[in-house]
Amino acid sequence: MKYNYVLFDADETLFRFDILAGMTRMFKAYNVDFSQDDYIHYQKTNKQLWVDYQNGTISADYLQVTRFNEWAVKLNVPAKELNDAFLDAMAQICEPLPGAIELLNKLKQHAKLGIITNGFARLQTVRLEHTGLKDMFEWLVISELVGIAKPNKAIFEHTFELMGNPDKSEILMVGDTATSDILGGN
Residues annotated as catalytic (active site), given as ranges: 9
What is the distance between the alpha carbons of residues 101 and 98, in angstroms, rounded to a whole number? 8
- Residue pair 180/54 in contact (Cβ under 8 Å)? The answer is yes
Please name every residue paired with 172 in a beta bridge, in sequence order, or none if there are none: 6
59: which strand partners? none
The DSSP bridge pattern shows strands 139-142 and 112-117 to be parallel
How many whole angstroms separate alpha carbon 41 and alpha carbon 126? 27
What's the full length of the chain, in residues? 186
The rounded Cα 179 to chain-centroid distance in angstroms is 15
Q: How far apart are CA 107 and CA 112, in angstroms?
A: 8
Q: Are 168 and 160 in contact (CB under 8 A)?
A: yes
Distances (CA, A) of 92 to 24, 68, 125: 13, 20, 12
